[in-house]
Structure 1
Amino acid sequence: MKLTLTYALFVVVAGALSLIVVYLAMRFVPYYPLADVNPQAAAIATRPDILRALAKASGIALLFLALVGLGAGWLIAGRVLRPLQDITRAARRAAHGSLDHRIGLTGPRDEFTELSDTFDDMLGRLQRSFDAQQRFAANASHELRTPLAVSRTMLDVAVADPDGQDYRQLVSRLRETNQRGIDITDALLRLSALEHTPPTMEHLDLADTARAAVEAVREEAGARIITLSADIRPAPVTGNGVLLRQLTLNLLHNAVRHNLPTGGTLSLTTGPDPARPGRALLTVTNTGPRLDNTVDRLTEPFLRGSGRLAEQDSTRRGHGLGLAIVASIVRAHHADLTLTANPGGGLTVRTSLPGAPGDDTGTDGNQASV
């Protein structure tokens, strides 16, 4: 209605201005009183008569323009606002919880199509986020319930047959199961803290962090007969030392535990990012099973390379939170995380971190392998 009244008012004002110009122009038309010269010319219209007739005709014309402006304005406003009505209906459906629909506005590129595409993109991101949250809630419930269910089963068996129990072994298994529940809870708390508390940043060399992380996983890699190689070059970054160490350890542990049963390889490199000057690049590559269909979701909590289910071997079992914590640390550092499935199996993880201002990343490094 506002647009209609605006259009109609514009038409009426434009018409009124045109008629006023004509009326004023008519006032300056030369006037010759013919009746003074020729009495028979008295029947000829004089200028005052013409001006009165023009004023009357102008009033009728303005009324006609107002009616035309209202009718045409209503049609034009309805046509202009039709895409906005589609967007409003989609927003109303989204407000009631339906996120699987898209506007898909077609036509020339204008403000409405840009708004439509932006809204569709927002709906897609919201749907993916809500789906991920639902999976997280279901998986977290499963992960937290499993140790409790296992503990209760062992206690029920002990109550049913108290004389036939090896209580030393029972206590050890209960302690291990309880510790697993504590580890999951601690990991969830760390994940939550990373999402809400900005870390303290400092200038440091990612090479030192990577070198310490390699030494921390060297024994586990050797026990699994995994060849570990490291090409560590200076990589000054701006970040939190504790979190970057956690990030590197998580990547290495993930690469070791989701590798081939024996005879696999694992490599780590640090140095300047060749594609983005002024940034440092941490790359971890390992062999392992093919991950073509799951690589895009590996950073979701409780998702493991083989799916949500944990490994039967407790020494290879994780909580499914390693890469989720890595992704949170990356976001906290305003860095970029890229996961790429290797053609022959395994995963390549690249983390591009902001470099330290004023530092010149060198090219000399050291090579370590087992």
Structure 2
Amino acid sequence: MNLRLRLTVLYGGLFLLAGVALLVVTYFLFTRQVGRRVAIISGTPSPGAPSLPSLESLDAQARELREAAATSLLTQGALALTAVALVAAALGWLVAGRALAPLRQVTETARRIAATAAPGGQARIALRGPEDEVKDLADAFDVMVERLDRSFDAQRRFVANASHELRTPLTLNRSVVEVAMHRRTASADVRELGSKLLRINARHERLIGGLLLLAKSETALTEHGPVDLAALVAHVTPPEVAQHLSEAATIGDALLLERLVHNLVENALRHNNEEGFIQVTTRCARGGRVELEVANSGPVIPPAEVPALFDPFHRRARVAAEGAGLGLSIVRSVAHAHGGEVTARAREEGGLVVVVSLPSG
């Protein structure tokens, strides 16, 4: 039972109780007053005086009149009370709806913010009305969203700026190492050291590239266009990977969605067994959605550890040195930026099944 219905029942119930109490008091006072008048009209015979049939008849008629009036009062009063209670319930429903309208506006705004990639975006309540508790709540919500918006924007700008600034020295380091390795006088030890430094440098470059992409995917989309997930899978996935592709059209940024597919396939390849399998499926789902599913074999993953796989910088021990731990984080951010969701479940025999659900286009 929602709050509006509970308030309506409360209003109607209180009115009904007050009406019943009023009807009982009215009935008591009415019967008491009529009883007095009947006693006055019928009179009390003096001692030793003979009783008069006409007075007895008058007394009986008065009592019948009193009982009929009391019954009529109860019947008519109950009918009137029922009618008025229904009207009061209807008015209570309208009043409760009007009183709760600002709260619904708060809820809808919060849902819009949650459905967008940007934490705050331009969604604000901006409630107009008298200065009361509800307006104070709406204003406090707007202030909170504004501060969160500034905080997330500052965080994204910092990550993007830091990543850009770090790319230059890494590029310079790579160039210096390559030059030193390809000198004619370079010894075998120098070439071996150079190879190690290049691998470390490449890993740092992948990390910075992932941070840049993660920062971009967490902002509002600037490019929208029709994208077929099946075509992206066919373009990105190696031929040896099993593919079951059906047309799955959506709307979004083609480059970000291509990176989403690439990260999922790369993650499945990296964490697969030597003789395991990888299967990529695209399909149309219910509710106007399209789905991309990537399943693979691999080591057994405890179900409790599956949610942590989408955290930034989370790496599995076996391949900790091969990745930056941002692949699945980027997948989740890209999916959320497109109004989608990502779910994952561990296979009992080992491996993982990741499903990305996006709005159909």
Structure-1-length-normalised TM-score: 0.46
Structure-2-length-normalised TM-score: 0.47
